[in-house]
Chain A
Amino acid sequence: MAVFSGRHIDCIRGERQVLSAAAFSLESGGALMLRGINGAGKSTMLRLMAGLMRPVSGVITWDGVDISDDPQEHNARLAYVGHADAVKPALSVLENVTFWSKLAGAGGMDASDALAALGIGHLTDLPARYLSAGQRRRVNLTRALTSGAELWLLDEPTTALDAATAEALTSLIERHLKSGGMAVVSTHAELGLAETGTLTLGGTA
């Protein structure tokens, strides 16, 4: 049973104090919803959790060990889905997905299955330049499915998704949690996940 937690997290971004004394704790099988108005620091929180940024003060730990002690190990257990979709227009959909899954060392869902699960199984050979915003978003989300990562960090995953795909995503997250994974999701919309913690940000903005 792994524990992912953070204490007293302060973060200054572009000279603005975005987070002050934020804290969270998450165990295997648990999910955490990040809420708050625009600019409240949801994306920043996810980037801190991923280790892209370091907090000005405070620590983020995995099983009691500071994640910045061994960033490579932390990278191996996380899948981060940010605002940018990281889809290369010159590569086919499948090429896009398999590159990241091979780089992550696989262990997750098969690439074609994952694409099918998000409803774009018929697009595998299409060059990604023909994709719509929603489809690119789904390609991006596929990376989390195929990575085999324990910890999913999803930044506004439902942006540009239709209701049906959002539902499919919810059930995929639930399946991930049941198999002992964790997920941190920033969202405006209600995802309908059962038994989740919520962290509301924006006290200082």
Chain B
Amino acid sequence: MSAFSVLFRREMRLAMRQSADSFMVIGFFVIAVVLFPFGVGPEPNMLARIGPGVIWVAALLAAMLSMDRMFMGDYEDGSLELLVLSPVALELVVCVKVLTHWLTTGLPLILTAPLLFVMMNVPGEIWLVLLLTLVLGTPVLSLLGSVGAALTLGARRGGVLLSLLVLPLLIPVLIFAVGAGDAVLFGNGAKANLMLLGGMLLGALALTPWVTAHALREAVA
């Protein structure tokens, strides 16, 4: 069996047996979005206007919630040292971790999003584009989050610090993702925005596993 599938099965098995974590992320996502109609008033046009942005910001924060646990369990029980010492490339371990994080966080967020589109009165013609931005954008969250999670291992108040470090770096993703919806509404088409998001995903995919692996080696040294 290849190293990838060995790692992937273990991660998924662990995630499945602690699936409450995944539901908590979704719960947070829904509640955070639902607060807005109370905060800014239930006027449908207003909600439609702010809906995409609110949903994206809530998705960002929800993804952040589970981020610090990406390596924390393995760090605390000593598994991380052994993963670093295994004959498998650490970059591959990181990729598997990011993939499972996305499958247990990003994917459920995408699946829940349409429900929130309805509740926030998001116009039907931008549903597809917004879902596409989530498909392209949430993996970037997991990838950049992995860097932050690895850097803050063993830090005091690591979870808060992680958000402080990673959220500013995610601003471009947010800008272009929400901009895609607006572009469609203004009749410009979202192609440019989606291309930029795709570029960010490819760039993050190429660089972050390497940086994260380096940070993990430092964390156990």
In their complex, do chains A and B touch, with some C-beta pair under 8 Å? yes
Chain B neighbourhood of A143, CB < 8 A:
82
Q: CA A75 – CA B18 in complex, angstroms?
A: 30
A76 touches B81 (CB 8 A): no
Give min CB distance, B2 to chain A, whole Å: 10
Give min CB distance, A46 to chain B, whole Å: 11
A95 touches B85 (CB 8 A): no
* Per-position 1/0 for A119-151, Cβ under 8 A of B: 000000000000000000000000100000000
Interface presence of B50 (CB below 8 A): no
Interface presence of A197 (CB below 8 A): no
Give min CB distance, A65 to chain B, whole Å: 16
Contact A53 B81, CB 8 Å, known A75-B86, A103-B3:
no
Q: CA A143 – CA B82 in complex, angstroms?
A: 10
Contact A52 B6, CB 8 Å, known A85-B78, A90-B14, A95-B13:
no
B13 touches A104 (CB 8 A): no
> Looking at the complex, which one of A53, A72, A88, A91 makes contact with B89 (CB distance below 8 Å)?
A72
Interface presence of B131 (CB below 8 A): no
Majority SS at the chain A contact face = loop
Chain A neighbourhood of B88, CB < 8 A:
103
Give min CB distance, A80 to chain B, whole Å: 5
Majority SS at the chain B contact face = helix
Q: CA A95 – CA B11 in complex, angstroms?
A: 12
- Give the residue name and chain of the B residue nearest to A103 (CB): B86
* Per-position 1/0 for B1-27, Cβ under 8 A of A: 101001100100110011000000000
Chain A neighbourhood of B79, CB < 8 A:
86, 88
User: How many A-B residue contacts, CB cutoff 8 Å?
Assistant: 65
A51 touches B85 (CB 8 A): yes
* Per-position 1/0 for A86-98, Cβ under 8 A of B: 1110110001000
Interface presence of B195 (CB below 8 A): no
Contact A86 B86, CB 8 Å, known A91-B14, A95-B13:
no
B81 touches A80 (CB 8 A): yes
Give min CB distance, B147 to chain A, whole Å: 21
B85 touches A75 (CB 8 A): yes
Chain B neighbourhood of A99, CB < 8 A:
6, 10
Among all A-B residue pairs, the 5 with the closest Cβ atoms? A84-B78, A76-B87, A86-B78, A90-B17, A86-B79
Name 6 A/B residue pairs within 8 A (Cβ), A-sorted. Answer: A52-B85, A53-B221, A75-B85, A80-B82, A84-B76, A90-B13
Residues of B within 8 A of A (CB): 1, 3, 6-7, 10, 13-14, 17-18, 73, 76-79, 81-82, 84-89, 220-221
